[in-house]
Amino acid sequence: MTKSFETKVVHNKWKQEAGAINSKTTPIYQTSVFSFQSLNEMESYFDGEAPYLYSRNGNPNTDELGQAVAELEGAPSGIATSSGMSAILCGILAAVGHGGHIVAADDLYGGTFQLLTKELKEFGIDVTLVSFDDPDAVENAIGERTELLYSESVTNPFLRVENIKNLVDMADRYQLKTMVDNTFATPYLLQPFQEGVDLVVHSATKYIGGHSDVSAGVLAGRNDLVEAARGKAVALGANLSPFEAWLAHRGLKTLALRMRQQAENADYVAESLRNHADIQHVYYPAYVSEKGNGAIITIELSERCDMDAFFSSLGWIKIVPSLAGVETTVSYPKGTSHRALTEEQRQKIGINARVVRVSIGIEGAKDIVEQLTSAVENSLSEE
Ligand SMILES: *Cc1c(COP(=O)(O)O)cnc(C)c1O
């Protein structure tokens, strides 16, 4: 019997240890280490019989989160890490060796851009960034040392939807691995592993957790690569705390409900803002999946708007330099996520002082539109 996403997201395959008290939810194993009754019993961990030794190496709560997300992605293995960034780092170090080369999309999340262009050099890994809308540019960037193609299924802040099939075809032609950041789409909308991607990564800080109360990452994908990444995470100390894993997993159970409502609201808000005289542009994907188009909308206000006045008039919509909570929030790419870029780099990708990213929540859709449009009215300079 094949279960729907809505069923799988609340009934994952995780089993409690035999003999445990029959707690409905998985208890929080808030322990740094596990104890043994004899040397023989301790030896059994190394023989692969006893599952846990030391929480940096593995813990029931972190395993539950990693496996639950892997299951939703349709992948055989998954691990949970301390943040989206550590999941990306461990995944890349598992897929690319010293002296290796990555071809990556040029419109990546700011933190990933920093990791790829600065930090990875110290690990002896080179990166070429190109537009993934241009298959010739991707092909031309592939060289002798290239091992990995890296992209995001839906990008930030302009919500370009990656053509996963083309990415996988290109990788197959050159025998490269592929890694895709699926944070914005979530497995509710897209499952890149099912389309042939080797490693899928999430900032579980965003929709997986969904309540803005936890920093976490998940890496799911091919067994061999996830096991190699687990080794990196153990060595680098990129483990997630049991409590954070428990919180993220609790949030995950409502992913289908949240995404369905948030995507439905986003459709309504995008449509309502499109004809507004002082909203020059609404960036919102035309099609992500049959279940919806995600819940991030980026708008560009007209030149008549005073940006300070707009941000100060948002009422219950808070300015939050992140996304994906159940509350509608706004962020300012120029001042936060893309702050490190030069003005010229920002202009090149279209981020000017009038671009605002909106993370749509689960409130009443009409209320969201009213609050946003009233802030736009308030921002119009009185002449
Ligand atoms: C937030 C984010 C990350 C980084 O995740 P952290 O949990 O903050 O480390 C990576 N990719 C995308 C697309 C993100 O939005």
Q: Which residues line ligand 1 (CB under 6 A)?
A: 83-85, 109, 111-112, 152, 156, 181, 183-184, 203, 205-206, 215, 217
| Pocket test residue of 205, 329, 336, 337 for ligand 1, highest count of atoms within 8 A of CB | 205
pLDDT (0 to 100) of residue 78: 98
pLDDT (0 to 100) of residue 349: 82
Answer whether residue 94 shows pLDDT above 70: yes
Listed by start position, the domains of the chain span 5-252, 256-379
Q: What is the DSSP string of 252-284?
A: HTTHHHHHHHHHHHHHHHHHHHHT-TTEEEEE-
Mean pLDDT over all residues of the chain?
95
Centre of ligand 1 from the C-alpha of residue 85, in Å: 6
Answer whether residue 18 shows pLDDT above 60: no
Q: Could you say which DSSP state residue 50 is in?
A: S
Q: Which residues of 168-180 are buried (b: 16+ CB within 10 A; e: fewer)?
A: bebbeeeebbbbb
Answer whether residue 202 shows pLDDT above 90: yes
**CATH class assigned to 256-379:** alpha beta
Atom of ligand 1 lying closest to residue 156 CA: 13
In this structure, CATH architecture of domain 5-252: 3-Layer(aba) Sandwich (3.40)
Centre of ligand 1 from the C-alpha of residue 255, in Å: 17
| Pocket test residue of 82, 107, 109 for ligand 1, highest count of atoms within 8 A of CB | 109
Residue nearest to atom 5 of ligand 1 (CA): 84
Mean pLDDT of 317-331: 96
Centre of ligand 1 from the C-alpha of residue 115, in Å: 12
Centre of ligand 1 from the C-alpha of residue 24, in Å: 31
Please answer whether residues 294 and 263 qualify as being in contact, where contact means their C-beta atoms are separated by less than 8 angstroms.
yes
Nearest Cα neighbor of 303 from 284, 269, 279 is: 279
The per-residue pLDDT for range 279-312, each reduced to its tens digit, is 999 999 999 999 999 999 999 999 999 999 999 9
Centre of ligand 1 from the C-alpha of residue 20, in Å: 35
Atom of ligand 1 lying closest to residue 152 CA: 13
Q: pTM for the whole thing? A: 0.96
Mean pLDDT of 9-38: 85
Answer whether residue 179 shows pLDDT above 70: yes
Strand partners, 103: 128, 149
Please answer whether residues 286 and 302 qualify as being in contact, where contact means their C-beta atoms are separated by less than 8 angstroms.
no
User: For 49-58, 187-196, 296-305, 334-343, which range has the lowest pLDDT when averaged over its residues?
Assistant: 334-343
